[in-house]
Structure 1
Amino acid sequence: MSDAPSDRTIVLNLLRGAVPERADEISKLWLDHGHAVQVAPSAQGSTMNATSKRIKFDTKTIDFFWLIGFSAWRAIEVYAPALTLAIINGATVEATLNVDQERGQFEQDYKQRIASAQSLLDTADTSDIAWPDDVPMPTDRRESLTNGQDMAVFDLVALGLAFALLHEFKHVQARALEATEQIPEKERQDRAEEEMACDTWAREFLTSGIARYASANDHSYAQVEQKRAMGIALAAVTIHAMTPHHAHWGGGDYPPIGDRIEAMIGGYNLPDASPFWVFTACLLVSLMRQDGRRLDYTGASFREFVLTLLAELR
């Protein structure tokens, strides 16, 4: 008999590890709903969805979270210098990007990384793409990584993936409630509104117990909040990458992607000096540059840039 943990147990352990202060609550919710975890065969596109009885995903989608995470991390080295100059000189981001003589090759390499990661969605299997030499292969063993930077990205990817799974878990609850209470179709929550509600619930679940965790583990509240917030920001970028360009403005069952990013990233009250603002500003600049949008914005801090760019994405 195999002692390998089930897919359901692996997902549960990931969630418990991402939000350890709420581990018992996660286990109780998991037990109450009794839903399954189904790993589907990899195919073109991405698979991550939920019904009243199960959460379904494929391993290629997990690989996509990993590859986007390790690729998006490089946004800091590409865009932070120009943003810093913009803050110091009172210039627009567009102007400082244009005078940055060294940015060109860095940005080209960065865009190629993101494009390579996105190409994973067009294939049937991870093995169909050329995996970047400097990105470790996906693993659930953090200790197997060889340097501190990779371990830091591992943590953020795990938090981002936990956010996505918590989002799907909220869908499980919504479907189960509809089935149990036999809610008529016309009285059910609008599906686009439900997507936003699931994002908000997942963010709240990851962040509402921070004070308890920080106190029990000799961390400051800001230290824990900034790490969780950075993981959620990475989830937002990954969801943006998974969303076809024609669907960015919403429609049908999905809200505009800018509204989702705002729900995930907006509203944090971290100090201006927090690395969260640097990381997130660079991520948002990268999204706008990928869309070919001008960045004629000024700001006195990375935080101010984040608030401005979030408003422009909506």
Structure 2
Amino acid sequence: MTMPDMRNDKAVQTAALNLFVGCAPERRAELEAMVKDLQLEFQVHDDNHEDGKFIFDAGAYRYLRFNPRAMRLFWLGAYIAWEGYRAIQTQHSQPADLSRFKALLDTFEQILDADDTEGVAWPASVPEPGTYPGKEVDIEVRATAELATIAAGWGLLHEIRHARHQQEGTATNSDDHSPEEVRAEEVSCDAFATTFLTERIGDYATQLHVAEDKVWQKRQLGIYMGLFTIALVGKDNWQTTATHPALAERLAAAKAAFAGHRSAAAENAAELAFQALGAVWSGAPRF
């Protein structure tokens, strides 16, 4: 069955909003109002698009575009990060066993490049995107699924800020603005996404009677996994470019945004994930 080149039906709009609410339930009303006020339209495009194979952006003031390939990669990226952390964390005094980590990375690259993403064998140990196993079945697999959701939500919130820049007349482009100005917009979009997911964590913790520091830990690690996935998509393009800050700078900015709420546990997991990546891909950014 051939999929249409683009979908923007009600089911797509509902799924996108549910993704955001899954990341920050305490901000449902604000999310709904923001989508309405900006007149945002979420669009699912074909995996083989004229603009490239990885579609995940904002344009024409209100369109948020992504394709199934991009969403599968954000999901898989979180599991790769977790496997990297697990492999390094359990190595003790022996060399880390990165065989599974390498296999997952290979699958990631195949999906990123394939004309037919469905033809790439999905790792048996990773649930299909959008599948949340019961905590009683495998709590680590379930936790990573939730972190993958935060990672993708953070990425889409970044794109929403681009759309708002366009509506405000503050958007930049490589033709009319300096590289510094273009990179500054990227920094502002990262900051918006990070702040939106964290500034009302206290409300969430109070409403659900959970430890606030644990919520901070989870949201931070989800954001770090979003940046980890960006590092995978942009393999070998981790330094400052004409359009984007260096990946290491984006990680540092996220840490700074967390300020006094920085989670040592989240940072340890992210550090070991990037350490594993550096062991396999020379020159990968360090956390």
TM-score for both structures, normalised by structure 1: 0.78
Q: Give, in angstroms, the shift of residue 250 of structure 1.
A: 2.5
Q: 1:80 aligns with which of 78, 83, 89?
A: 89
For each residue in 1:29-70, what CA deviation from the matched residue of structure 2 results, as whole angstroms up to 9, or x when unmatched? 111011211110012631101011200000111011111222
Q: Is the 8 A contact 1:249 1:255 kept in 2?
A: yes
Q: Is the 8 A contact 1:63 1:126 kept in 2?
A: no
How many matched pairs?
Answer: 271
1:254 alignment counterpart: 244
1:199 alignment counterpart: 190
1:57 aligns with 2:72: no
Q: 1:279 aligns with which of 261, 269, 272?
A: 269
For each residue in 1:222-248, what CA deviation from the matched residue of structure 2 results, as whole angstroms up to 9, or x when unmatched? 011001011111101001111141x22
Q: What secondary structure does 2:124 align onto?
A: coil
Q: Percent identity?
A: 22
Q: 1:47 aligns with which of 55, 60, 69?
A: 55
Alignment of 1:1-314 (within 5 A): 5-43=10-48, 45-51=53-59, 52-82=61-91, 100-101=94-95, 103=96, 106-139=97-130, 146-178=137-169, 185=176, 190-245=181-236, 247-266=237-256, 268=258, 269-270=260-261, 274-292=264-282, 309-310=286-287
Q: Give, in angstroms, the shift of residue 187 of structure 1.
A: 9.7
Residues 202 and 75 (structure 1 numbering): CA distance in 2 closer, same or farther, change over 3 Å?
same
Moved more, 247-256 or 161-170: 247-256
Match of 2:73, as an amino acid? F
Q: What secondary structure does 2:269 align onto?
A: helix
CA-based RMSD: 2.9
Residues 66 and 188 (structure 1 numbering): CA distance in 2 closer, same or farther, change over 3 Å?
closer
Residues 172 and 209 (structure 1 numbering): CA distance in 2 closer, same or farther, change over 3 Å?
same
Q: Give, in angstroms, the shift of residue 281 of structure 1.
A: 1.9
Q: What secondary structure does 1:55 align onto?
A: strand
Q: Is the 8 A contact 1:163 1:206 kept in 2?
A: yes
Residues 219 and 124 (structure 1 numbering): CA distance in 2 closer, same or farther, change over 3 Å?
same
CA distance in 2 between counterparts of 1:150 and 1:286 reads 19
Name the structure with the higher helix share.
1
**Structure 1 gap segments, 5+ residues each:** 86-98, 295-307
Residues 186 and 126 (structure 1 numbering): CA distance in 2 closer, same or farther, change over 3 Å?
closer
Match of 2:15, as an amino acid? I
Residues 286 and 214 (structure 1 numbering): CA distance in 2 closer, same or farther, change over 3 Å?
same
TM-score for both structures, normalised by structure 2: 0.84
Residues 309 and 63 (structure 1 numbering): CA distance in 2 closer, same or farther, change over 3 Å?
closer
Answer with 1 or 2: which has the greater Rg: 1
CA distance in 2 between counterparts of 1:76 and 1:168 reads 28
Q: What secondary structure does 1:45 align onto?
A: coil
